[in-house]
A and B are shown apart, each in its own frame.
Chain A
Amino acid sequence: MIAEFWPYLTPYLVVLLAGALPNESFRIAAVLLSRGVDETSEFFVWIRLTATTLLAAVVSRLLYAPAAQLEAVPLAIRVAGVAVGVAAFFTARRSLLAGIVAGEAFFVAAAWWFTRG
């Protein structure tokens, strides 16, 4: 009975065990460790800056060692897309929308130019 359904269940188990479990562990650990974290302490400043560093590091990893179709576009174009987005954000008086639209437009145009026949 279980053996019969096994192939259908595998993707769900992979998502839960290889995705949700390792990911959620850190949220759960933080909740359990949180007692007595003082938002004005030096420890809290260090934690906050480590969080920002890790978020930036994950972005860097997504650009530097990307998945699937993104890998078909050269690293220089991926990095330039982000740089154009940041430049547009600050030029357009910190408009998030302007930054994203400009970065994406540049990226898609450059990727199209690079992959065309």
Chain B
Amino acid sequence: MEAGTRSFVGLGIRSSLALPGWIVALSFLGVGSLARDVGHPIGAAILSTVAIWAAPAQLILYGSLAGGGLVTAAALAVALSAIRLLPMTLAIWPYLRRPGQSLLTQLGLAHFIAATVWIDSMRRLPGLPPEGRIPYFVGFGATCLSLSIVATALGYLLVGALPLPFAAGLLCLTPIYFTVSMMGGARTAGDWAAIGLGLGLVPIAAAVVGRDYDLLATGLVGGASAYLIDRQARRRERAAG
């Protein structure tokens, strides 16, 4: 590895260890405990973190299984929660795309994309030189993933012993953390509209189209509305400036 590359990997590792890596790991304690609640072995719990690498999808998977639901219904619920990964990956791709990359490399990079890594990278990557972006991204993502694997195992082994307020607190960490970091990353009127519409439309969408399609409907309607609000705000800014 070249010295330059190594220093960007180090930058990614340090920026993950500075806070986000620990927070995301704490939220995986809850995932580990849920895996044990549904009777899975610890190996399957760890596999879920390695192979899925998306806390909401894992919370939804184990939540559906715990409710005694069908495995196919659980898979559908996971798929609907994972739709966001498509636009998230597309949005970050211009910063990770390099000439001559193999498809396998691209799929490997894409596997790291999840909320924490995405929010941090969307903020940091544009300011880094193009050759430093992938090393930073991999350093950051691999650190978050490693800490989360350890946390999944610890959660599996330990959380059952926690009193309810603390066990519930670990499960509430993902929503609190995601909301605060999304708002911390918001820059434009469109970003704020997207956050507000995403949070607010789900109960309404669940009432209108049902619990199965609430995420899809919210994404389509809320995303398009946020875009129109953003375009309007940019026009007004141009007219004023």
Binding site for B on A (CB under 8 A): 8, 11-12, 14-31, 33-34, 37-39, 42, 44-70, 72-73, 78, 81-82, 85-86, 89-90, 94, 96-97, 99-100, 103-104, 107-109, 111-112, 115
Q: Is B90 an interface position by the 8 A CB rule?
A: yes
- Provide the main secondary structure of the chain A interface: helix
Check if B176 sits within 8 Å of A82, measured CB to CB. yes
Check if B90 sits within 8 Å of A55, measured CB to CB. no
Check if B219 sits within 8 Å of A57, measured CB to CB. yes
Check if A26 sits within 8 Å of B85, measured CB to CB. yes
Contacts of B167 in A (CB 8 A): 68-69
* Among B34, B85, B182, contact of A67 (Cβ-Cβ < 8 Å): B34
Check if A18 sits within 8 Å of B218, measured CB to CB. no
Contacts of B111 in A (CB 8 A): 24, 27
Check if A58 sits within 8 Å of B171, measured CB to CB. no
- Please give me the 9 A-B residue pairs with the lowest Cβ-Cβ distance, nearest first: A56-B198, A50-B223, A67-B63, A54-B84, A30-B89, A51-B87, A22-B79, A39-B94, A20-B51
Closest to B126 in A: A39
Closest Cβ of chain A to B160, distance in Å, is 10
Check if B82 sits within 8 Å of A25, measured CB to CB. yes
Contacts of B199 in A (CB 8 A): 56-57, 59-60
Q: Is B23 an interface position by the 8 A CB rule?
A: yes
Check if B171 sits within 8 Å of A53, measured CB to CB. no
Check if B168 sits within 8 Å of A73, measured CB to CB. yes
As a 0/1 sequence over residues 179 to 218 of chain B, the CB contacts with chain A under 8 angstroms (1 = contact) are 1111110000011011111111111001000010011001
Check if B171 sits within 8 Å of A70, measured CB to CB. yes
**A110 CA / B74 CA spacing, docked (Å):** 31
**A107 CA / B179 CA spacing, docked (Å):** 15
* Among B71, B76, B81, contact of A14 (Cβ-Cβ < 8 Å): B71
* Among B57, B173, B224, contact of A19 (Cβ-Cβ < 8 Å): B57
* Among A11, A56, A67, contact of B195 (Cβ-Cβ < 8 Å): A56
Q: Is B68 an interface position by the 8 A CB rule?
A: no
18 A-B pairs, CB-CB below 8 angstroms? A12-B43, A12-B47, A14-B74, A33-B86, A33-B90, A34-B97, A49-B227, A53-B194, A55-B115, A59-B179, A65-B206, A69-B167, A72-B164, A85-B180, A99-B180, A100-B176, A108-B168, A111-B168
Closest Cβ of chain A to B188, distance in Å, is 9
Instruction: Find the residue from B79, B85, B224, B230 having the highest chain A CB count within 10 A.
Output: B85
**A44 CA / B5 CA spacing, docked (Å):** 28
Indicate whether A111 sits within 8 Å of B169 (C-beta atoms), given known contacts A14-B71, A31-B103, A61-B214.
yes
Check if B172 sits within 8 Å of A48, measured CB to CB. no
Indicate whether A19 sits within 8 Å of B52 (C-beta atoms), given known contacts A31-B107, A58-B81.
yes
Q: Is B144 an interface position by the 8 A CB rule?
A: no
Check if A69 sits within 8 Å of B222, measured CB to CB. no
Check if A60 sits within 8 Å of B198, measured CB to CB. yes
Instruction: Find the residue from A15, A44, A59, A86 having the highest chain B CB count within 10 A.
Output: A15
Check if B56 sits within 8 Å of A58, measured CB to CB. yes
**A32 CA / B189 CA spacing, docked (Å):** 30
Check if A89 sits within 8 Å of B51, measured CB to CB. no
